[in-house]
Every structure is written in structure tokens, then in C-alpha cells.
Structure 1
Amino acid sequence: MIKYVLLTMCAIPAVAFAQSSVTLYGIIDTSLETANTGANRVERMASGKVVASRWGLYGTEDIGGGTKILFKLENGFNSASGAMSSSGVLFNRESWVGLANERYGSMKFGVQYTPFHTARVKYGPGVLGDGMSWGIAMTDFVFGPTVRPNNSVRYDSPMMAGFTFRAMYARGANGATGSPGTLGDIRSFGFEYANGPLLIEGAYLDQVGTTATTITSSTPTTRGNFSLLTVAYDLGFMNPRAEFEMHRGGPNVKTSYAAGYVTPKHNIYELDDLIPVGLGLITLSVGHYQMLGYSSGSATGYHVRYDYPLSKGTGVYAGAGMVRNGSSASFTVGDASAGGLSVAAGRTATSVAFGMVHRF
């Protein structure tokens, strides 16, 4: 009898495991960089230039009827030092659980990317990096609070006649005491249309913010909004893309204030071209940030990068970038980990780097 019970208990987890899977994965991106901030030159080892160094767990459980339970836990780290990207936060990149159905799409809850950011990165260097990385001009001008909000609910539809639709609502402060109840709240919507070589991405996002530097529960708030349109066409011998982003609504501040979720009203224009060369890929990118109302806050970025795969999981890259700032602008050459060196207003920033990416 005891033997029968023990065999039965051993069989239960075996059945559950057969219906589930958990994958451990990771990316390590380490580079050597020489950069000029306009005031001095810096030589350094850097992490996460073209793709943020990270490790994570991704799991699924098939519960039948075409429905699966999903989860993802992802931690970012600095591959040059071993430090976590966010002190005291283990899963600082993504942390969500949800469900997906073949007919109805997916719904996820937790820390995840906005549909607005998904539209930004959908088209990008496909050999080694992500769509927002060192070598892409838009990366120089990204406003961080629009990327991965906490306390979010996101829906992704299945593809229908080439269209995919996305929607999100996120609670920024999430009812925390000492700040307005809606501070940081996000509403975001997006769509993708894919038809052969043509790809069109569109997205909208609005966010509750404040210009107050001292925040209390009675601090007045405002709402700014972002819109984005990207068109890409694969010609085979090259992949051109045009992208336009604008921010409107709220007060026209002169500088971004991430803690208050506010940023200047602006337009961003970008032209990219991905050119296959043998197994490798050349990326050419130019972008212009136009600050509305304050022309001295505008900037232009120029980038070139070459990626070459050494194997299925490993590749190398090399390239250069430059950002020319207006007299009041202080943008730097950005990367996938948002780790660009600080630049004083009005200075020109440059970056030359060589690195390796390994995926496991």
C-alpha cells in the first residue's frame, strides 16, 4: 500500500511537468568604447550597447482549448561589472503573468512594454540587436517612462488580414500615498500591418504627469500624449524605414522630468536603412529631435553600425555615432541599456565602439 501511494505521488508532478515548460535564457553584450562628451574623452568597457544584457525565465502551461498560461521574469545586469541594472529590484525589465488563446489573443499583467514602445522597436537591426539600440538615432531621444510601466494590463490581438492590435492601461503611482492617485498612469494603443515586404506601425500613448518638483497627494497633474508612425519596406538588397514621433499636450517644459512623467513638446524625424552585406548587416541611421518653442533644445544624431554573426548565438559589431546638440540640448549617443555618457548642454557627443553579443 505504501509503495502504491509513493508511486502515485511521484506520477502527479510528472503529469504537470508534461503540460508545462520553463526556459532559462540570456543575452550578454559587452563592448569597448571610446567616447567624447565634448569636454573630455572617455575609454571604457560598456554593457548593453546594441542589446541590453539580461537573463530571464519564460514559462508556458497548456491548459487546453488553444489556451496557454504564460509568464516572464527578466533581470537586466551590467556584463562589465556584474551589477544589477536596478539596485534592489530583481526583475527590473519584465515581470508579468497572463494567458494567450489562438483565436482571441493574449492578456498580460505586470511590468511589460507599452504598445507605443513595441511600435518603436518592431523594425530594427535583425542580426544582433533590438530596434532601440546603439546605432539607431531614435535611441538618443527616448523618454524612459514610456517604455516599461509597472502595474500594467496589456492586450495583443491575433493577426487578422495582416493587422495586429495592441492596448494597455497602467497605473503609475498605483494608489501610493504621498502622490496624486493617477500620477504616471498610461493609456496606450497600437497597430501593426504586415503585408509581404511592407510593414506599418502606428501607436499612441498618453501619460499623467506633473511639473512640480515636490510631489504631494494634492499636486496638480496634466496629461501629455505621444503619437508614432513607422513605415518600412524590404527591397531585398536594402531595408529603408521612415519614422515620425510627436509629443503634445500638457505644459511646454524645457527639459524632461522623468520623476514627474513630463517631457517637452517635440517632433522626432528618423530615416534608417539596413543593408545586407554577405552574412552581415550595415545599419545607417539619421534622426532629428525638434523641440517646439525652444529651437536651442533641438539635436541631430548620425549613426553607422556593422553587425556580423559568428554563429547562431554569437556575433560581433562595430560602428560610430554622433549627436550634435543645440545650445540648450544635452542628448548623448544612446544605447540599448540607456547607458550613454552624460553630455553638457550645447556639446557634441561622439561614440566609437566594438563589441560582442552572445545569446543562450
Structure 2
Amino acid sequence: MKHSFATTAVPACVRLLPLTALCAALLPLGAAHAEAPTSSVTLYGVIDTGLAYTRISNFEGQGRARKSGLISGGQADSLWGLRGAEDLGDGLSATFTLESGFDANSGNAEEEGRLFNYAAWLGLNHADYGELRFGRQNTVAQQAASGVELAGWKDFGLGATFKAADNYQLSNTVNYFSPDFGGLKLGLGYSFNADESSDFDSARQARELSAALSYEDGPLYVALTYDRLQPKDSGSVGLNQPDAWQLGASYDFGPVKLAGGWSRQKNGFVGLNGDEYANANPDRPGLGGLGPNEFVDGGRLQSWYAGATIPLGGGDLTLQWSLASPDWDWQGSGDKAKNIQVYTIGYSYSLSPRTSVYAFAGRMKNASTEALLTPDNPTTTRVAVGLTHAF
């Protein structure tokens, strides 16, 4: 899923300055014009459904596994949402977004027990000072880096190997987006309780810092991002702090659009959106999703991405490739972790401005849709066709 963005690294010691400075500047402006507001609310959404066949060899070390049937979100996440704004005058507005993902084939919410899993934030926006958002939302790094992705085929897009660019959200987050400085945009975000721990002691809660810098000038787009996670109770259990750098760019030449990127992830996945950390205490769920022990205990994962979109037959043909290179040996066997490669070819054709059909085929080498990092070295193949409608 792609997001428009506004967004660089700021030292930790000043991470709260945008909050105090911007709030001080914005609140008096709004108070002076509260008597004559104008507002709007928009209902929007995407429904994406299709047919897919997936085959995994050496599935969890048990041989071959196959699955076929309907798939939701093959090209874009199925979701619905509300977004709104109230004009408070003098360039200031109150903004909000509430967004929920769902399975288009069952009608079930994507995340049980959460009404708005994709977004639930309220903010203040000013043309001269930028925007502050408070609540559950994507990191500023994810929003910036996802602008490089050409096609988000389910489980086979940029986020397959660039986990800090994957579509994940953090609760209890404050994001700041700067205004546009001649194409340059800055962003800084901080989650005070990323895994929603109920522990009263804030020092024991998972926290994440996210920063991003992007530049856009006509057909050129460039993004540089950084994330750092302090896992829950990391000090008491001796965990390293995961971090991730991402650099990406795209250029639209007219007939062809090209994109490329690089990522370095260290000490686990910053979004807690990877494989389970086997040594995690089940009483501390915030440690889940960091990745395998070898990665969490000082491992590094470097990834590269390249893609091209070519107009063809009234639609778009998209080719994508990514490589992830781990630097560790597996503890059980002592074997060196193998490089992971993801290839996709896909085609999308618009039937109208809001409805499109698509087909794609993808292959993962030494990884599966169930586990990116595994010593089993599976091979995964998926083919899918589908229909997407936006409203």
C-alpha cells in the first residue's frame, strides 16, 4: 500500500522540540478563528479480491505445501476509512484519519479486536509550519520509503525484504511532517509505547524513533530514512536495539519508470513485523516479531531493490527484483545463511479511473511468505489474478 508523504534524522535529545514549538505556534492561531469553521469528511476505500495459487517447497522442513483459492489485497490492501479536515483559519486546519483493513472475501476485520488497525490519528496542519499527527499511524520512514515501490504485490513487494518499508503501524505515536521546502520534506516520529504494553512503567515499554528525508522534483523522487527500536524490557534481557537505514530513488522517464533502493537492517526488525524471536519470554509479547536469534543477536541484513514499469497494451507491465543478504551462520547447523531473492512480473489494466484488473507471478528463493529468514531455505511460487476497485 502506498502513501503520500511529507518527511530526517534529528538527534534524540531534541526529538520533542517539534511538538512543543509547533503546538505553541498553532494553538493561538486556531483559537482566534474558532467561531467560523468549515469542515469536510470523506468516506473512501479499496476492495481488492482475486484468485491465487501458492506453492512452498521444503515448507517448515516438512516437504511441499500448496494453497489455492481467493486472495484479498493482491494488488492493494482492502480497506475503508474516513478522513476529514476543519479549516480553523490563517492556514491552520484540524485533520484526522480513521482507517481499517478487512478481508474482502470473508468480510472479517484484518485485525481482531481493533476497529481501526491501519490508522487512527488526529492532527493539526499549517501551511507554514507543517503537520503534527497523534495516534496510531505508519512511521514517517515507512511512508517515505514506500514511495519508491512500483507495485505492492501481496507478500512479494518492496516490504518483503525492506521490512522497515512494509505496511506496518505503531500505536501511541507522534509524527511531524515539515512543509515543502522546494521539493525537500522532513519528517520525525516517536512512538511512546509501540507494542501497547499495559505496564505502567514507561521505561519498560517498547519505543521507536523514526526519521526521514525526501526530495521530489518532477519525475525524480529520493528518500533516506532511519528507524531505531528500543524493545520492551530490552535492558533487563540484554537485547540489542534494532535499527534500519533505507535509501531509495525513482525516476519517471515517460515511457519507462525505474526505481532502486538499498537497506541495512541490524539486530532485528524495527517494526516487530518479522519472524518470531525464539528466545522471547511469552510473558513479554513485545519481543515477538524481531526475527530469528541469529539476527537479533548482532546480525545484519542488507537488501537491494530494482524495478521498472513499462506501458504495454493500454496497461502497465511491472518488473521487480530484490535481494536480501544475511551475514550470520545458523546456530543449529553452523551453515551460513543464504541470500534471499524475490522476483515478480505483473500487469495492471485500468477499466475505469477507479477499477482495474491485474495479474502477477512471483518467486522467492530461500524464503517463504510465512518466514523471510529461515534455515530451511524454501522456494515459494505464487501466481494470481484479481480485480481492484477504489471508492
* Bucket of the pairwise TM-score, normalised by the shorter protein: 0.7 to 0.9
Structure 1 residue 250, shift from structure 2 partner: 7.3
Determine if the alignment matches structure 1 residue 158 to structure 2 residue 186. Answer: no
Structure 1 residue 276, shift from structure 2 partner: 1.8
Q: 1:51-130 counterparts in 2 under 5 A? A: 51-125=76-150
CA distance in 2, matches of 1:177, 1:341: 31
The aligned counterpart of 1:6 is: none
Determine if the alignment matches structure 1 residue 37 to structure 2 residue 78. Answer: no
Alignment TM-score, normalising by the size of structure 2: 0.76
Q: 1:262-277 counterparts in 2 under 5 A? A: 262-263=290-291, 264=295, 265-277=300-312
Structure 1 residue 221, shift from structure 2 partner: 4.2
Give the 3 Å change call, closer, same or farther, for CA 320–343 of structure 1 in structure 2. farther
Give the 3 Å change call, closer, same or farther, for CA 89–344 of structure 1 in structure 2. farther
Q: Tell me, yes or no, if the aligned pair for 2:259 and 2:307 is still in contact at 8 Å.
A: yes
Q: 1:230-309 counterparts in 2 under 5 A? A: 230-249=248-267, 256-257=276-277, 259-260=286-287, 262-263=290-291, 264=295, 265-294=300-329, 295-309=336-350
Q: 1:201-240 counterparts in 2 under 5 A? A: 201-209=223-231, 218-240=236-258
The aligned counterpart of 1:336 is: none
CA distance in 1, matches of 2:97, 2:257: 31
CA distance in 2, matches of 1:342, 1:157: 36
The aligned counterpart of 1:27 is: 46
Determine if the alignment matches structure 1 residue 352 to structure 2 residue 383. Answer: yes
Q: Could you list the runs of 5+ residues in structure 1 that have no partner in the other structure? A: 1-14, 126-130, 333-338
SS in structure 1 at match of 2:160: helix
Structure 1 residue 269, shift from structure 2 partner: 0.7
SS in structure 1 at match of 2:249: strand
The aligned counterpart of 2:216 is: 194
Q: Tell me, yes or no, if the aligned pair for 1:324 and 1:349 is still in contact at 8 Å.
A: yes
CA distance in 2, matches of 1:23, 1:92: 18
Structure 1 residue 346, shift from structure 2 partner: 1.8
Per-residue CA deviations over 1:171-222 (Å, capped at 9, x if unaligned) read 2256632887354211011011112222111100000126xxxx79954443
Q: 1:317-332 counterparts in 2 under 5 A? A: 317-325=358-366, 330-332=367-369
SS in structure 1 at match of 2:159: helix
Per-residue CA deviations over 1:61-81 (Å, capped at 9, x if unaligned) read 000000110011111100011
Per-residue CA deviations over 1:270-318 (Å, capped at 9, x if unaligned) read 1111112253111100111111123425311110010111001100000
CA distance in 1, matches of 2:268, 2:100: 33
Structure 1 residue 41, shift from structure 2 partner: 2.2
Structure 1 residue 242, shift from structure 2 partner: 1.0
Give the 3 Å change call, closer, same or farther, for CA 174–139 of structure 1 in structure 2. closer
CA distance in 2, matches of 1:107, 1:267: 32
Structure 1 residue 136, shift from structure 2 partner: 5.0
Give the 3 Å change call, closer, same or farther, for CA 244–318 of structure 1 in structure 2. same
Q: Tell me, yes or no, if the aligned pair for 1:180 and 1:219 is still in contact at 8 Å.
A: no
SS in structure 2 at match of 1:81: coil
Regions of 4+ moved over 6 Å: 15-18, 339-344
Q: Tell me, yes or no, if the aligned pair for 1:72 and 1:96 is still in contact at 8 Å.
A: yes
Give the 3 Å change call, closer, same or farther, for CA 44–342 of structure 1 in structure 2. farther
Per-residue CA deviations over 1:133-167 (Å, capped at 9, x if unaligned) read 33854232354798311000001111102201111
The letter of the residue matching 2:190 is: Y
Structure 1 residue 116, shift from structure 2 partner: 1.5
Identity level (%): 28
Q: Could you list the runs of 5+ residues in structure 2 that have no partner in the other structure? A: 1-33, 58-63, 278-284, 330-335
SS in structure 2 at match of 1:37: strand
Give the 3 Å change call, closer, same or farther, for CA 250–271 of structure 1 in structure 2. closer
Determine if the alignment matches structure 1 residue 185 to structure 2 residue 207. Answer: yes
CA distance in 1, matches of 2:158, 2:314: 25
Alignment TM-score, normalising by the size of structure 1: 0.82
CA distance in 1, matches of 2:197, 2:286: 16
The letter of the residue matching 2:265 is: H
